[in-house]
């Protein structure tokens, strides 16, 4: 009888610790999301979650092993709208004392793995600000079908092109031969993804069904600086 009672008490204690751990994670993630919104100058509050168990040991240690952050409609300084931006912060350092007093102004992070998704619609809207009116669709993992009106051979023409996608220093380039009737000319359009929140540099890019995804990393960054 005593043994069963002890087991029951132990189960209740474990359950209470787990519940407290998850509640603490939810509250801390909510606070962190608000802080990241202000420090990274995001127009909308991002969603955030903190991985790893137990969470409370991370709190007392002041280091969070895996923080996932997702933000939408992020406007870059170049005027490109990033439809969805996701970042995994590995080793985010936030002392408990600063968390309790709401005095977190800087968040050192050991490593950031980031992904920026830009829809074809947002690419088209950005290009329209440059005087280029096009529609885009996927042709392959690294290719896009492009149709529209743009300057070619000294005139604005209706053109079609199958462009390849590459990235250098966070600038995505759509390039390939553009055709307008019998005229064929090289085409190169740039989509800058520089100075993204969470400080990561885009080093690779792929084409999906609805847009392009650029991924990259950054090491030893300080968010909010």
- State what percent of residues in the chain have pLDDT above 70: 72
**Sign of the torsion angle spanned by Cα atoms 173, 176, 180, 184:** positive
Cis upstream peptide for 73 (omega within 30°): no
pLDDT per residue as tens digits for the range 43-89? 788 887 776 656 666 666 667 788 888 999 999 989 999 999 999 98
The reported pTM is 0.80
Exposure string over 86-95, b if 16+ CB within 10 A, otherwise e: bbbbbbbbbe
Answer whether residue 12 shows pLDDT above 50.
no
CB 174 within 8 A of CB 143: no
Token representation of residue 14: 């474990």
At 141, the pLDDT band (50, 70, 90 cuts) reads: confident
Q: Higher pLDDT residue, 151 or 90?
A: 90
Instruction: Please tell me whether residue 77 adopts helix, strand or coil conformation.
Output: coil
Tokens 């991985």 correspond to: 51
Q: Across all residues in the chain, what is the average pLDDT?
A: 79
Instruction: Please tell me whether residue 182 adopts helix, strand or coil conformation.
Output: coil
Confidence at residue 31, expressed as pLDDT on a 0 to 100 scale: 59
């Amino acid at each position: 009888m005593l043994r069963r009672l002890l087991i029951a008490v132990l189960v209740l204690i474990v359950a209470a610790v787990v519940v407290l751990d998850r509640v603490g994670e939810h509250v801390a993630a909510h606070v962190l999301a608000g802080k990241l919104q202000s420090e990274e100058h995001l127009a909308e509050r991002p969603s955030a979650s903190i991985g790893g168990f137990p969470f409370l040991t991370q709190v007392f240690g002041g280091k969070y092993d895996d923080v996932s952050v997702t933000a939408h409609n992020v406007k870059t300084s170049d005027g490109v709208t990033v439809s969805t931006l996701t970042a995994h912060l590995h080793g985010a350092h936030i002392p408990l004392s600063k968390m309790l007093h709401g005095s977190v102004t800087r968040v050192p992070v050991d490593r950031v793995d980031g992904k920026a998704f830009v829809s074809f619609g947002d690419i088209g809207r950005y290009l329209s600000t440059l005087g280029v009116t096009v529609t885009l669709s996927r042709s392959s993992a690294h290719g896009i079908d492009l149709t529209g009106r743009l300057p070619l051979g000294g005139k604005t023409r209706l053109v079609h092109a199958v462009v390849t996608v590459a990235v250098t220093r966070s600038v995505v380039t759509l390039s390939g031969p553009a055709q307008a009737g019998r005229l064929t000319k090289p085409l190169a359009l740039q989509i800058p993804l520089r100075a993204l929140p969470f400080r990561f540099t885009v080093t690779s890019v792929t084409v999906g069904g609805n847009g392009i995804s650029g991924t990259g990393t950054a090491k030893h960054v300080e968010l909010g600086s």
